[in-house]
Amino acid sequence: MRQDAIKYSIVEIFSLIICLALCSCATIKIVKQDNNSILAVSAKSSGLGSQGYGIEITLVNINTQQKLVSKSFSSISPHSVIQNIPPGQYYIKQISVPVGNITYISWSDSIRTFFGEIEIKPNSKYYLGDFSGTREVGKKNVLRLRIKNENIPNEVIEKIEAENTGWKNGDFVKLYPYKTSDLLVY
């Protein structure tokens, strides 16, 4: 009986490892289309022994109300992008940040105020920032995000400007620093 339990555990562990390997290998394909632009963002978070990688943002065109949602480079990557953004005026409507088993989601006006209005010009590369998040303990259980590094991570540059993506030309436009240093997510 005990050997069957151990064998079953080993099979479960082996299956989990294969599943994680396959999931972590899936990556986003970056391809430039027409006169559209690309926007990238990064985040790593922690709190109470938990780690989180990535941030999902929802970008909204002010005139057309078209919503665009970022996609992570891979399931365990801190970096995500929104590809093929038509030129125009935008704002960030929502962000979603995982920390362990909890996902912090905010669509409050403070998100829109923090990032401000973003003008997307044709054929441009934008970077929102490399955020570090800390989960605070207390009555409100807040996730505090702030820019941890003023430089764009090499992984972001290499992935976007890789051969055959169409994004070799032009510099990234850094959309930070922001008016306030902390972005609070409840």
- pLDDT, one tens digit per residue, over 71-128 is 999 989 999 999 999 999 999 999 999 998 889 999 999 999 999 999 999 999 999 9
Distance CA 90, CA 47 (A): 31
| Tens-digit pLDDT profile for residues 137-158 | 775 678 999 998 889 999 999 9
Domain contains 1: no
| Tens-digit pLDDT profile for residues 20-55 | 444 445 688 999 999 999 999 999 999 878 889 999
- Domain CATH for 91: 2.60.40.1120
Domain contains 5: no
CA neighbor of 38 nearest in space, from 163, 168, 146: 168
Domain contains 95: yes
Domain contains 4: no
Domain contains 19: no
Its pTM stands at 0.83
Domain total for the chain?
A: 1
Domain contains 92: yes
Domain contains 23: no
Domain extent, residue 175, equals: 30-185
Q: Where are the beta strands (DSSP E) in 8-87?
A: 37-47, 50-53, 56-61, 67-69, 71-72, 79-85
Domain contains 10: no
